[in-house]
Amino acid sequence: MGSRIPLMPNTNQNNLLELSLSEQNHQHFKIFKPYGFLSQFVPETRKKKKVLGELFPFPDKIMAIGRLDHDSEGLLLLTTDGMKSFQVRDKGIEKEYYVQVDGEITQDAISQLQKGVNISVNGTIYLTLPCKAFRLESEPNLPARGRNIRGSSHGPTSWISITICEGKNRQIRKMTAAVGFATLRLVRVRIGDIYIDSMIAGEVVPLANFDDALNCS
């Protein structure tokens, strides 16, 4: 009998193997971004703004998935996998925010938020997609913010939950302003099925099963 030629994996099998090994090497984290931090890892030239790289010795090629602006707080997902970043930024992924607004928000204002409101995006008028919005019965249990919000002597405030599947620049703040209520504090508490839970500001938690973030309703 002639010698048997060893079977070699085909190109597709090689690609799958490389993809599997690459996935195993990637790292993912969730972080409670504190007030006053930029959603980046290297400080900008001539600007003394705090950055995420000050909070934890993150691996090379780490990136934030989306962003929270300087004044916003809460859940931010980080990854070394650019494909995961693309998936989470897809419009199918819900992002929930707890929002403290100036004044006692009305049901009419909440109904407007649910249906969509006109905001300015890059100088043009944009109608936001329908979203979930409701008033919270009590103030949520959140870490104290790094900077005090105005006192009660300036009038009442109220808290609402807003869940969107898009992410225009400063969208939540623009939405509440469009219905007559300025945002005083903005905290993201959920992305997909990943929650902020009882994290404190600045805390970093590794994520073993990052695909949980993709399980949205």
Q: How far, in Å, are 49, 65, 68, 175 from residue 76 at the CA level?
A: 18, 7, 7, 21
- Is 94-191 in the same CATH topology as 20-90+193-217? yes
CA–CA gap between residue 36 and residue 209 (Å, rounded) = 29
Q: How far, in Å, are 14, 95, 191, 207 from residue 216 at the CA level?
A: 31, 10, 9, 17
Question: Is 69 annotated in the active site?
Answer: yes
Q: Given CA atoms 145, 102, 161, 86 in this order, what sign does their dihedral have?
A: negative
Category of 61 on φ-ψ map: left (φ > 0), alpha (ψ -120 to 50) or beta = left
Topology classification of domain 94-191? Alpha-Beta Plaits (3.30.70)
What would the two tokens of residue 33 be?
A: 């971004």
Q: Which residue has the tokens 């934030």?
A: 64
List 69, 71, 108, 211, catalytic entry: 69
CA neighbor of 128 nearest in space, from 117, 120, 138: 117
3-state secondary structure of 134: strand
pLDDT at 186: 97
CATH class of the region 20-90+193-217: alpha beta
**β-pair partners for 64:** 78
Q: pLDDT tens for residues 152-171?
A: 667 899 999 999 998 898 99
Q: What is the pTM of this model?
A: 0.84
CA–CA gap between residue 128 and residue 150 (Å, rounded) = 29
**pLDDT tens across the length of the chain (217 residues):** 555 544 544 445 544 444 444 456 888 999 999 999 988 888 776 667 889 988 999 998 899 988 899 999 999 999 998 887 777 776 678 999 999 999 999 999 999 999 999 999 999 999 999 999 999 999 999 998 867 776 666 789 999 999 999 889 899 999 999 999 999 999 999 998 899 999 999 999 998 877 765 664 4
Q: Go through 100-139 and write b for each residue having 16 or more CB atoms within 10 A of its CB, e for each that does not.
A: bbbeebeeebbebbeeebebeeeeeebebeebebeeeeee
Q: Are 74 and 60 in contact (CB under 8 A)?
A: no
Identify the DSSP state of 57: -
**Every domain of the chain and the residues it spans:** 20-90+193-217, 94-191
CA neighbor of 168 nearest in space, from 97, 41, 66: 66
